[in-house]
Amino acid sequence: MRIVRLVRHAVRAVLKRCRFALWRASGWLRNASVLGDAPVVVSLTSFWPRIAGVDLAIESIAAGTVRPRRLVLWLCDSDIAAGLPRRLRRLERRGLEIIGCPDYRSHKKYYPYAIERDQIAFPLVTADDDAYYPRDWLEGLIAAHAEHPNDVLAYRSKEIRFDDHGGILPYRSWPLRTSTAPSYRVFPTGVAGVLYPLAVLEEARRHGTSFMELCPHADDLWLHRSAVRAGVAPRQVHECAVDVPGIPGAQRVALMTSNTEAGGNDRQFRATYSFSDCEAIRGDRHV
């Protein structure tokens, strides 16, 4: 049985790679705008060598049932200077904005937008460069935002847990969320997509680039703290957490391993959250 499972897994992996290869090969035929009239900005970031594959994530967003007012790829200035793939330049002609910024690491996906203008115009939806989003992905977030306009909304989240003495348990022990109730204990994980309302972006902007010292590799942590301090409770869109398929070869595992298995999230959590932050999370008992 184990051999059968391995063979099935290998076949599915090959078919998945073929599907993505065909999608990419037909990219030059697509000329429709990647933009629409949904009142949000979708933002993502990437870095070498993953820039070569980010077009697939962008194309999946552009193929959605609704499309955003702006679709922005933030890259550090040195990556842009090194030259971009023609696939990205074609997407740029279809409305994708490729904007250079300092190397804020994963925080590039939200911080440059938060400080771009004096007044933040639209809520921000963050996406990852190694995920392939289903057609109703953005439509679902927009519908949830219409119903809960002041909440952080996530397709996938964990639930922050505490030990018997009130201490926060390690990140790896937090279970996936199984409720749509809003709570500070809801910790959105960015890969499946998260919508942040203006209040959270303004709170993140207020603290400048101190994330580079306290939380350089975990934008999810920093944005969750910003939500807590802004008085905005995150909420999962569906009762069950939703995963999105990864793009073959995008090497998602590197940052995930350093932040979870190597304890990076726990170290950054301790550096980022104050006693008052933890008390606010602990005192919120929505389930």
Give the mean pLDDT of 210-219. Answer: 97
Mean pLDDT check: name the lowest of 67-71, 151-155, 244-248, 256-260. Answer: 256-260
Q: Which of 75, 101, 107 is nearest to 215 (CA)?
A: 107
| Domains in the chain with CATH codes | 31-283 (3.90.550.10)
In terms of pLDDT, which residue wins out, 28 or 40?
40
Q: How confident is the model at residue 177 (pLDDT cuts 50, 70, 90)?
A: very high
186-190, 207-211, 242-246, 250-254, range with the lowest pLDDT: 250-254
Percentage of the chain exceeding pLDDT 90: 79
Is residue 49 reached through a cis peptide bond, with omega within 30 degrees of 0 on the bond before it? yes
pLDDT computed for residue 280 by the predictor: 96
Residue corresponding to tokens 């219409």: 146
Query: Strands 186-188, 152-154: parallel, antiparallel or unpaired by DSSP?
Result: unpaired
Q: Return the beta strands (E) in 77-199 as ranges.
A: 97-101, 124-126, 152-154, 157-159, 186-188, 194-196
Q: How far apart are CA 173 and CA 183, in angstroms?
A: 18
| pLDDT band at 284; cut points 50, 70, 90 | confident
* Per-residue pLDDT at 14 exceeds 50: yes
Instruction: Compute the CA torsion angle 219, 224, 227, 233 (nearest 10 deg).
Output: 150
Pairing of β 38-45 and β 68-76? parallel
| Alpha-carbon span 127 to 265, nearest angstrom | 19
| pLDDT, tens digit, 9 for 90 and up, residues 41-57 | 999 999 988 999 999 99
Residue 253 confidence class, pLDDT cut points 50, 70, 90: very low
Section 86-99 average pLDDT: 97
User: Considering the chain, what is the average pLDDT of its residues?
Assistant: 89
Q: Is the pLDDT of residue 257 over 80?
A: no
pLDDT of residue 286: 57
The pTM for the full model equals: 0.90
- Given a cut of 50, whether residue 205 has pLDDT beyond it is yes
Q: Is the predicted pLDDT of residue 23 greater than 90, yes or no? A: no
Pairwise pLDDT comparison (48 vs 183), residue with the higher score: 183
Residue 248: the pLDDT is 80
Look at residue 219 and tell me whether its pLDDT is greater than 60.
Answer: yes
Buried b (16+ CB within 10 A) or exposed e, 20-31: beebeeeeeeee
